[in-house]
């Protein structure tokens, strides 16, 4: 018996457990996770980027909530009086760069960002060339730099998040949820691979790429599937430490890392599925040429490491799906479809889920536009331009 069962102890599940216990310390919160090594979870594979450069205000607010925790890191990350571990927060900013055809969406997004308190700076192509001489700007017309943003060591951030939720009193069990029982519009219990059953007043589904199959058990059709994403670590002979995290419309994402850079080129067309294979052609045939088209003077590039992880890609509009399905699954709350933004949004999503469970509505950020209803209505609520 639990008050709330959380399915999946990745970043989002841990954030939900933390906020539930902080808001209601007497609540019995049980988190079910089959693999605490996180070998297949997205949380262990992320690059740790935190940005406010979004189209939708909800995504901006969620990033700002995480940035507040980062600003307060020494206090926020001190668990049971232990000193906060080193986060390796690199506040170099995030920069989106575009050519002529994406100028309008960059401009519209810039206005949304400024309205929502983002210290974003507009750079035309001559500003870009002057400030970042290694950037190839011949096809660029503008960029937007968000100076408060940056990147961190996601493993460190996550270890603190999990430790905080444990210290707050959430119970973590090792098991896998196989099924849900429900009558009418209420989910009554979850059945586990071990044979156990946990009854609960509310169930939160934060199972990452497995969230859709659990949601389907209450009739929710979630258009989210696993999508392979490569990341490569390349040593460079050039000094790139001053660069912001740079993204362009083709999905190229570059930031300084160790003795060089970490780079990925998201392949949104890669077929869905739990595919972790490392394609040996990804770096030489796709990523390196794209990198050299965007940057010059990087010096000698030596590939040192490549890895893959899974995006829980929302194939409908590329944004998260959060909340219950009123009148059909009233006490069953989903949060998935983060499409590469989930780490930076986990904290705020955990808070939003907590508000839904405890109050039945959002109390701080209104995330209703990111709910399941938009999927049923076919209402696109995605990012425009650079995603």
Ligand X SMILES: Cc1cc2nc3c(=O)[nH]c(=O)nc-3n(C[C@H](O)[C@H](O)[C@H](O)COP(=O)(O)OP(=O)(O)OC[C@H]3O[C@@H](n4cnc5c(N)ncnc54)[C@H](O)[C@@H]3O)c2cc1C
- Measured CA to CA, the distance from residue 224 to residue 207 in angstroms comes to 12
Rounded least distance, CB 327 to ligand X, Å: 25
Q: Which residue, 10 or 143, is less far from ligand X as judged by CB?
A: 10
Phi and psi, residue 164, nearest 5°: -65, -40
- Measured CA to CA, the distance from residue 379 to residue 306 in angstroms comes to 37
Beta partners for residue 233, in sequence order:
262, 305
Q: Which residue, 56 or 137, is less far from ligand X as judged by CB?
A: 56
Rounded least distance, CB 166 to ligand X, Å: 15
Residue pair 226/272 in contact (Cβ under 8 Å)? The answer is: yes
- Measured CA to CA, the distance from residue 54 to residue 62 in angstroms comes to 10
Rounded least distance, CB 81 to ligand X, Å: 27
Q: Which residue, 12 or 137, is less far from ligand X as judged by CB?
A: 12
Q: Which residue, 45 or 286, is less far from ligand X as judged by CB?
A: 45
> In a 10 Å sphere around its CB, with 0-12 CB exposed, 13-18 middle and 19+ buried, how is residue 100 labelled?
exposed
Q: Which residue, 137 or 207, is less far from ligand X as judged by CB?
A: 207
Beta partners for residue 124, in sequence order:
142
Q: How far apart are the first and last CA of the chain?
A: 41
Rounded least distance, CB 129 to ligand X, Å: 26
Determine if residue 68 is left, alpha or beta; phi over 0 gives left, psi from -120 to 50 gives alpha, anything else beta.
Answer: alpha
Q: Which residues bind ligand X (CB under 6 A)?
A: 7-13, 32-35, 38, 41-43, 45-49, 176-177, 206-208, 210, 229, 231, 309-311, 338, 340-344
Rounded least distance, CB 203 to ligand X, Å: 11
Q: Which residue, 143 or 154, is less far from ligand X as judged by CB?
A: 154
287-317 residues labelled b (16+ CB within 10 A) or e (exposed): bbebbeebbeebeebeeeebebbbbbbbebb
Rounded least distance, CB 74 to ligand X, Å: 22
Q: Which residue, 45 or 351, is less far from ligand X as judged by CB?
A: 45
Rounded least distance, CB 141 to ligand X, Å: 26
């Amino acid at each position: 018996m639990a008050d709330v069962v959380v399915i999946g102890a990745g970043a989002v599940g841990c954030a939900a457990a933390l906020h539930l216990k902080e808001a209601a310390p007497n609540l019995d919160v049980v988190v079910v996770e089959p693999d605490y090594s996180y070998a297949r979870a997205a949380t262990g594979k992320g690059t740790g980027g935190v940005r406010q450069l979004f189209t939708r205000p909800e995504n901006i607010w969620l990033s700002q909530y995480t940035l507040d925790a980062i600003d307060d890191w020494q206090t926020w990350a001190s668990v049971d009086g232990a000193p906060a571990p080193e986060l390796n927060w690199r506040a170099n900013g995030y920069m989106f760069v575009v050519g002529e055809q994406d100028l309008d969406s960059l401009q519209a997004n810039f206005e949304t960002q400024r309205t929502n308190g983002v210290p974003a700076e507009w750079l035309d192509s001559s500003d870009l060339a002057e400030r970042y001489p290694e950037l190839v700007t011949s096809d660029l017309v503008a960029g937007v730099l968000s100076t408060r943003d940056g990147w961190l060591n996601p493993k460190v951030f996550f270890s603190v998040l999990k430790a905080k939720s444990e210290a707050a009193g959430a119970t973590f069990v090792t098991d896998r949820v196989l099924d849900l029982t429900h009558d009418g519009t209420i989910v009554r219990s979850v059945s586990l691979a071990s044979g156990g059953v946990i009854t609960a007043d509310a169930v939160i589904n934060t199972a990452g790429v497995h969230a859709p199959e659990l949601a389907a058990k209450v009739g929710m059709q979630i258009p989210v599937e696993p999508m392979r994403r490569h990341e490569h670590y390349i040593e460079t002979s050039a000094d790139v430490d001053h660069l912001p995290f740079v993204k362009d419309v083709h999905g190229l994402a570059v930031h300084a890392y160790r003795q060089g850079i970490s780079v990925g080129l998201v392949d949104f067309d890669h077929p869905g599925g739990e595919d972790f294979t490392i394609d040996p052609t990804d770096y030489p045939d796709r990523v390196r040429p794209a990198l050299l088209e965007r940057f010059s003077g990087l010096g000698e590039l030596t590939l040192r490491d490549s890895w893959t992880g899974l995006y829980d890609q929302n194939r409908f509009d590329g944004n998260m799906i959060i909340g219950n399905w009123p009148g059909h699954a009233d006490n069953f709350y989903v949060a998935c479809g983060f499409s590469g933004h989930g780490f930076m949004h986990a904290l705020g999503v955990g808070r939003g889920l907590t508000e839904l469970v405890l109050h039945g509505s959002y109390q701080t950020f209104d995330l209703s536009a990111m709910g399941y209803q938009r999927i049923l209505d076919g209402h696109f609520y995605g990012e425009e331009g650079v995603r």
